[in-house]
């Protein structure tokens, strides 16, 4: 178990170095877990796998771990006996009890597999760590590039011609130097910018963005330069060059960097100019014009012709306006985040193709095949949901900062923010589930079209429920990491009591209450009941002929073959409903419970949005 954890940690480290972004790495990590579990030998026994995919069984770490653990357990003195629990396995099957159950799941019984598994896991751990370190050393993903469009030449205006090679202004903040102190000259340059803007020279050289407070540290003032702005910056340069003692702007230098250097606010701070720029500006014609412009009615003092703007409500915009803008904003954000949605669609297609290939042409009549089929439905729905859960964490967390700012400024009501985040997910979830179902459902041997449509709806609702669960954890928890860890813990507990492993009939009575309140259970019951328990008329067993008579030819009506002796004679429907409690008669009630839990998750998310605030002050 320790080696399995180490191998998984090494694999996630390696995968993180390969993927360019968080929105891709988290869903891909879940998708690879699907592959490891699928070919691990438990979900689908080795003798059920297609022959041409048997190499995957000997490659994934789960198969080596499970094989070593099973051999170590069932070849022990407790289980490697002829008579166990009143059954003589040696006389009936010519095998010990441990050997018989290892054979049921196609696990080899030789003790050498224990040490071989340990050696393989150690080697795989070293290989994955070395691969991750190699990629980390020699592969670096660049950040997003800033694209700027070069404006057309304007021969009639006096502009700076040599600014096509744009370089971002170096500031004390991004250079790593000590904390930058604002000077009076910096404030003067700010006032000059304000004058030039008010005087209708709207193409600014520098945009002064006052730093936000983060914790107790005052962020440095940022000077953001844009190429098209620098291109028309001659007016600012001319003003500073006209002041006596100011050196001209070099031809190849960025005008904004030159301005900062001249007034003594640059990085090097090497300017020897002792000119009092504050005094020069206060005595200049520009300062007089600035004051005159600002003194106009409606700018810095109330206008006698216009009434004071007053709002009778807490927010200026109406509820419908808030809802309309937030719906558009969420739709635009989802549409413009391809790493989130394209990854989701690609993984849904990948899951559909993977399971369609592995489970093609299965009859679901043998004990191994029906267990593999139920595991197939369980895993595909579970991992579709878990991938949506993990995928929504980073994008929801990125939006949370803007939500706090807008709530503080009374821009939006949290109700409409909640509505926007709720509605934006629905079309993407249903489309991704449709892509999965269209490939998966007919390819694995399911033929009922009406059940297929309901299978798509049920799968989409489960994925939507998991997505809303991820949003709930993001709103309630302080960081993505905490939300992810607690989400994995919560999903692990719920999926343990979903009725598959352990089967519902084997859950201890003391934990039955936990089984009843598990939300994921109702989706699993619904999905499996649609495909494995649809048999309106069960056949009857004829002891004289030794076979079933009557019934229809549906999959659920077939006899379960190659089953353990403890089960006796049973059909697929009876086995699934008795062992897993996935009952066809409870389909519509399961639909209702899914909607109830979706409503509960959204209500808790709304309460978290309204009352939980993770801002640091």
pLDDT for residue 144:
52
Residues of the chain with pLDDT under 50: 146, 148, 154-182, 195-196, 198-231
Specify whether the CB–CB gap between 444 and 376 falls below 8 A: yes
What are the two backbone dihedrals, phi and then psi, of residue 73, each rounded to the nearest 5 degrees?
A: -80, -50
What single-letter DSSP state applies at residue 176? Answer: T
Residue 63: Cβ-neighbour burial (10 angstroms; 0-12, 13-18, 19+) = buried
Closest by CA to 471, choosing from 344, 329, 609, is: 609
Q: What is the DSSP string of 126-152?
A: HHHHHHHHHHHHH--PPPPPPP-PPPP
pLDDT for residue 266:
63
Specify whether the CB–CB gap between 74 and 101 falls below 8 A: yes
What single-letter DSSP state applies at residue 540? Answer: E
CA angle 522, 389, 38 (to 5 degrees): 75
What are 148's two structure tokens? 């700027």
Closest by CA to 387, choosing from 470, 497, 461, is: 470
- Residue labelled with tokens 């191994």: 368
Specify whether the CB–CB gap between 322 and 412 falls below 8 A: yes
Q: What is the DSSP string of 372-426?
A: HHHHHHHHHHHHHHHHHHHHHHHHHHHHHHHHHHHHHTT-S-HHHHHHHHHHHHH
- For residues 581 and 566, give the distance between their C-alpha atoms in angstroms, rounded to a whole number: 18
Residue 560 CA, chain-centre distance (Å), reads: 40
pLDDT for residue 617:
57
- For residues 513 and 496, give the distance between their C-alpha atoms in angstroms, rounded to a whole number: 13
CB-based burial, 555-590: b 16+ in 10 Å, e otherwise: bbbbbbeebeeeeeebbbbbbbbebbbbbbebbeeb
What are 391's two structure tokens? 């995928």
CA angle 117, 119, 125 (to 5 degrees): 100
SS3 of residue 35 by DSSP: helix
- For residues 475 and 400, give the distance between their C-alpha atoms in angstroms, rounded to a whole number: 8
pLDDT for residue 483:
93
Specify whether the CB–CB gap between 409 and 415 falls below 8 A: no
pLDDT for residue 452:
93
What single-letter DSSP state applies at residue 571? Answer: B
pLDDT for residue 192:
53
**Half-sphere exposure of residue 552: CA atoms within 13 angstroms, side-chain side:** 9
What are 16's two structure tokens? 């993180």
- For residues 570 and 578, give the distance between their C-alpha atoms in angstroms, rounded to a whole number: 10
CA angle 581, 583, 586 (to 5 degrees): 120
CA angle 292, 296, 298 (to 5 degrees): 150
CA angle 22, 24, 29 (to 5 degrees): 95
- For residues 605 and 474, give the distance between their C-alpha atoms in angstroms, rounded to a whole number: 9
Specify whether the CB–CB gap between 240 and 246 falls below 8 A: yes
What are 304's two structure tokens? 């006698």
Strand 207-209 and strand 540-542: pairing? unpaired
- For residues 504 and 564, give the distance between their C-alpha atoms in angstroms, rounded to a whole number: 18
pLDDT for residue 32:
86
Specify whether the CB–CB gap between 251 and 280 falls below 8 A: no
pLDDT for residue 270:
58
Most distant CA atoms of the chain, gap in Å? 117
pLDDT for residue 562:
83
Give the helix, strand, coil percentages of the chain, each rounded to 5: 60, 5, 35
- Cα distances (Å, whole numbers) of residue 572 to 375, 531, 536, 579: 14, 11, 13, 11
Put residue 524 in one of left, alpha, beta given phi > 0 → left and psi -120 to 50 → alpha. Answer: alpha
- Cα distances (Å, whole numbers) of residue 149 to 143, 205, 361: 19, 16, 56
pLDDT for residue 185:
53
Closest by CA to 528, choosing from 456, 576, 570, is: 576
């Amino acid at each position: 178990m320790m080696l399995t954890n180490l191998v998984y940690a090494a694999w996630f480290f390696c995968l993180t170095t390969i993927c360019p972004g968080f929105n891709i790495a988290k869903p891909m990590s879940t998708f690879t877990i699907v592959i490891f579990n699928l070919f691990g030998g438990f979900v689908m026994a080795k003798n059920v796998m297609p022959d041409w995919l048997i190499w995957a069984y000997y490659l994934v770490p789960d198969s080596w771990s499970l094989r070593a653990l099973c051999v170590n357990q069932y070849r022990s003195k407790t289980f490697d006996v002829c008579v166990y629990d009143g059954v003589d396995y040696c006389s009936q099957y010519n095998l010990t009890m441990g050997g018989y159950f290892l054979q049921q799941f196609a696990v080899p019984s030789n003790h050498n597999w224990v040490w071989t598994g340990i050696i393989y896991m150690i080697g795989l751990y070293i290989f994955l760590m070395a691969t991750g370190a190699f990629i980390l050393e020699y592969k670096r993903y660049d950040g997003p590039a800033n694209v700027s469009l070069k404006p057309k030449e304007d021969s009639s205006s006096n502009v700076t011609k040599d600014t096509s090679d744009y370089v971002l202004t170096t500031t004390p903040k991004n250079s790593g130097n000590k904390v930058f102190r604002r000077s009076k000259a910096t404030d003067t340059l700010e006032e000059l910018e304000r004058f030039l803007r008010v005087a209708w020279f709207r193409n600014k050289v520098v945009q002064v963005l006052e730093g936000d407070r983060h914790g107790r540290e005052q962020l440095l003032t940022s000077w953001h330069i844009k190429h098209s702005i620098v291109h028309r910056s001659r007016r600012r340069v001319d003003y500073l060059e006209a002041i006596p003692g100011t050196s001209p702007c070099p031809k190849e230098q960025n005008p904004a960097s030159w301005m900062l250097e001249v007034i003594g606010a640059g990085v090097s701070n090497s300017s020897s100019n002792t000119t009092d720029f504050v005094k020069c500006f206060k005595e200049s014609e520009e300062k007089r014009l600035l004051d005159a412009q600002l003194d106009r009615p409606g700018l810095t003092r109330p206008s006698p012709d216009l009434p004071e703007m007053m709002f009778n409500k807490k927010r200026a915009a109406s509820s419908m306006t808030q809802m309309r803008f937030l719906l558009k904003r969420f739709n635009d954000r989802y549409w413009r985040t391809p790493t989130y949605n394209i990854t989701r669609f690609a993984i849904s297609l990948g899951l559909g193709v993977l399971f369609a290939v592995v489970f093609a042409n299965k009859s679901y009549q043998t004990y191994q095949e029906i267990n593999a089929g139920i595991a197939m439905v369980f895993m595909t729905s579970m991992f579709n949901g878990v991938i949506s859960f993990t995928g929504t964490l980073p994008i929801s967390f990125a939006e949370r900062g803007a939500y706090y700012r807008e709530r503080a400024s009374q821009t939006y009501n949290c109700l409409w923010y909640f509505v926007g985040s709720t509605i934006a997910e629905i079309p993407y979830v249903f489309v991704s589930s449709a892509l999965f179902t269209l490939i998966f459902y007919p390819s694995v041997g399911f033929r009922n079209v009406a059940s297929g449509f309901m299978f798509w709806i049920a799968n989409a609702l489960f994925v939507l429920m998991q997505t809303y669960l991820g949003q709930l954890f993001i709103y309630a928890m302080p960081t993505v990491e905490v939300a992810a860890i607690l989400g994995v813990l919560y999903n692990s507990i719920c999926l343990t009591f979903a009725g598959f492993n352990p089967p519902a009939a084997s859950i201890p009575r003391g934990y039955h209450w936990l089984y009843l309140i598990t939300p994921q259970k109702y989706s699993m019951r619904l999905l499996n009941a649609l495909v494995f328990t649809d048999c309106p008329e069960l056949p009857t067993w004829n002891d004289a002929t030794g076979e079933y008579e009557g019934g229809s030819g549906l999959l659920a009506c077939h006899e379960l073959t190659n089953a353990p002796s403890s089960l006796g004679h049973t059909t697929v429907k009876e086995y699934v409903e008795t062992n897993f409690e996935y009952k066809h008669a409870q389909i519509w009630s399961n639909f209702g419970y899914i909607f109830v839990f979706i409503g509960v998750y959204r209500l808790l998310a709304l309460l978290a949005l309204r009352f939980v605030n993770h801002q640091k002050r």
